[in-house]
Structure 1
Amino acid sequence: MDIRQLKYFKTIVDGGNIIHAAEKLHMAQPPLSQQLKKLEQELGTTLIKRKSQWVLTETGKLLYEHAKRILHEVDYIQQEIQHIEDGLKGTLSIGVSSSCAKFLPEIIYAYRQKYPNIFIHVYKGDSSYLENLLVNGKIELAFMLLPSNLLPYEVKRLKPEPFLVVMPSKWHDELNTDSITLNEANEFPILMLGSMEGYSIHENILNYFSQYQLEPNIVLECKDIFSILDFVSEEVGIAILPQSEVYEIFTNRVKTIKIKDLAQFVEPSIISLKDTHQSRAARYFLNMIDVIMLDKVLQ
């Protein structure tokens, strides 16, 4: 017994006879009659009494109820699968690093307006962690800083972010300036973003100091941005970070200052793996980003 036989049987019962069922199924009557006989033989029972008026037997009634339920479930499953294939339903798993977190709320809001039945699973972590999730198929898209090796990835670049000095509000008020040189910044104790394999922010900052023959006054190193900002707010030192790494929750405790002689930027990007199947939900998400970025350019 298979789904096709159940569909034939239900259509026969609904139509009241073979003639009407055959018309609805767009098939000849003899093959349909043979399918009914074959089903009865497989089940070892008579399903329909074929007299002047067709009558369902007890086993026929039982099978009919089950057939209705099963065929309804099959239709539902097919619809669910089609919705997922069409990108209208399902789960989209994405990752976001702290440096790219500010880009996400606007995009997700717009995406949810158009695709309300897509469940979005967001992973948060540093770029090396997200790259690992991407390679292992845990996420489809990652909002993160550019890795050193771009060969395995499709890359959509977002707006470049400048480096800023982040210092305690009290120090900023005493300094009373909106810009600072690297040499002036080096008079303060520096809290350094820790090195991550495959990413160059740590090394780049050291290189910036080296270009000006400066030995950076590093007193602490940490890979966690929130911890660094907490240390800054407690007047442990200053930090040199991408602009997007400074969160609003710290704005009353820390201030940012432009760096006069540092015209370097980081590139937040959306990374996906090359040569892998990408769900429609992910493709729609990327299209939504294109629309939002275009709107910003036209504004």
Structure 2
Amino acid sequence: MDLLDLKIFKQLYIQCNISAVSRFLYLSQPTISYRLNKLQQELNITLYAYDGEYHFTPQGKVFYEYCERILRDHDELVTRLEGMNDFTVNLSTVATYLYLEPIYKLLHEKGLFPRIHTCRSDEAIRNIIDHQADVAIVGGVNMELPRHIDVIPLKDERIVLVYHQSLSHDIRKIPLVIDQKDSGIHAVVLNYLEQFEQVNIVAEMGTTADRLALINHEPLGLFINETYLKDIQDRYPHIVISDTYQIHRNILLLAGESSRYGDIIHTLIEKLNNLSPSH
């Protein structure tokens, strides 16, 4: 039994079609049949029955689970060995704005090859869970995390309502444009709005810059990260910043407890926590 046998059985379990397995693995059907029969003889168990359709035995179902686990661990091992000097960081949009430069500088100084990817918060978190990134920095977590993930607060962040100057300062009377569902603050804003008896959400759309340009001309409002506030007075003269409707949340760093870069991650946390407030 070797890795190819595991790959063959995994694909047979998933696709239930030997022709599809043959095409997927670029193997002849006789080769696949031979290796499956030999595998069952070696294990001395029946993994499946075939009567025009494949029916997997309880032993076959357990064997599939272990095939999946072993092949996943093998792929992870190969990836790690191939990239021992790589350090992969996933950043949400606001984390990129805050931390891209200091992260790059630190990793470069440590002799690592930084792979820094800006993505949605949920994607960044999922990549940490799936061991596809060494560090993720996001604005809050809206999913259950496994125990092996460390979560370290870096800084407190405000999410602030801004709106066109023609509107009254009453959130119930402000037509709101909110972030798309895959953004980091979508769920945060919706949870905050639940406290008000009546709000009027009129659209869900694109980037922060696009939304700000829209409400600079239209009677609308939206919630934005405080990191964008310093640009508003100069670039968007018709937008008012609310000092009442604000949400507070933490910018969080996520890393696996068993990361091979524990010392680097500790140094990175110290550096990011010691950045000046104006950074």
1:212 to 174, 187, 196: 196
Give yes or no for contact 2:162–2:242 (8 Å, CA) kept in 1: no
Structure 2 partner of 1:96: 91
Determine if the alignment matches structure 1 residue 253 to structure 2 residue 236.
yes
Give the match's secondary structure for 1:195.
Answer: coil
Shift in Å at residue 166 of structure 1?
Answer: 2.7
Structure 2 partner of 1:58: none
Query: Quick one: which amino acid aligns to residue 244 of structure 1?
Result: T
Please report the RMSD computed on the Cα atoms of aligned residues, expressed in angstroms.
Answer: 3.6
Give yes or no for contact 2:88–2:133 (8 Å, CA) kept in 1: yes
- TM-score, normalization by structure 2: 0.56
Alpha-carbon distance in 2 for matches of 1:110, 1:157? 21
Shift in Å at residue 120 of structure 1?
Answer: 0.9
Partner deviation per Cα, 1:163-203 (whole Å, 9 max, x = no partner): 21233xxx34x67xxxx85xx23323210123349x7x434
Query: Quick one: which amino acid aligns to residue 105 of structure 1?
Result: L
The alpha-carbon distance between structure 1 residues 208 and 90, as it changes in their structure 2 partners (threshold 3 A), is closer
Query: Quick one: which amino acid aligns to residue 134 of structure 2?
Result: E
Alpha-carbon distance in 2 for matches of 1:230, 1:250? 12
Give yes or no for contact 2:87–2:115 (8 Å, CA) kept in 1: yes
2:253 to 263, 270, 273: 270
1:239 to 222, 247, 254: 222
Give yes or no for contact 1:158–1:269 (8 Å, CA) kept in 2: yes
Alpha-carbon distance in 1 for matches of 2:265, 2:230? 25
Give yes or no for contact 1:206–1:216 (8 Å, CA) kept in 2: no
Alpha-carbon distance in 1 for matches of 2:157, 2:105? 23
Query: Quick one: which amino acid aligns to residue 226 of structure 2?
Result: Q
Determine if the alignment matches structure 1 residue 161 to structure 2 residue 157.
yes
Structure 1 partner of 2:114: 120
- TM-score, normalization by structure 1: 0.53
Alpha-carbon distance in 2 for matches of 1:159, 1:90? 28
Alpha-carbon distance in 1 for matches of 2:200, 2:152? 35
Task: Name the % identity.
Answer: 16
Alpha-carbon distance in 2 for matches of 1:98, 1:246? 15
Structure 1 partner of 2:186: 202
Structure 1 residue runs of 5 or longer lacking an equivalent are: 1-83
Shift in Å at residue 245 of structure 1?
Answer: 5.5
Alpha-carbon distance in 2 for matches of 1:144, 1:128? 9
Alignment of 1:106-117 (within 5 A): 106-108=101-103, 110-112=105-107, 114-115=109-110, 117=111
Give yes or no for contact 2:153–2:251 (8 Å, CA) kept in 1: yes
Shift in Å at residue 216 of structure 1?
Answer: 1.5
Partner deviation per Cα, 1:76-114 (whole Å, 9 max, x = no partner): xxxxxxxx99xxx82211010012223213422541563
The alpha-carbon distance between structure 1 residues 93 and 208, as it changes in their structure 2 partners (threshold 3 A), is closer
Structure 2 partner of 1:279: 260
Give yes or no for contact 1:98–1:245 (8 Å, CA) kept in 2: no
- Aligned residues, how many? 194
Query: Quick one: which amino acid aligns to residue 118 of structure 2?
Result: K
For CA contacts below 8 A with separation 6 or more, give which structure has more relative contact order: 1
Determine if the alignment matches structure 1 residue 133 to structure 2 residue 137.
no
Shift in Å at residue 238 of structure 1?
Answer: 1.7
The alpha-carbon distance between structure 1 residues 229 and 129, as it changes in their structure 2 partners (threshold 3 A), is farther
Alpha-carbon distance in 1 for matches of 2:266, 2:98? 13
The alpha-carbon distance between structure 1 residues 132 and 291, as it changes in their structure 2 partners (threshold 3 A), is closer
Alignment of 1:45-64 (within 5 A): none
Shift in Å at residue 118 of structure 1?
Answer: 1.8
The alpha-carbon distance between structure 1 residues 109 and 266, as it changes in their structure 2 partners (threshold 3 A), is same
Structure 1 partner of 2:136: 142
The alpha-carbon distance between structure 1 residues 145 and 212, as it changes in their structure 2 partners (threshold 3 A), is same
Alpha-carbon distance in 2 for matches of 1:229, 1:250? 11
Shift in Å at residue 231 of structure 1?
Answer: 3.3
The alpha-carbon distance between structure 1 residues 222 and 268, as it changes in their structure 2 partners (threshold 3 A), is same
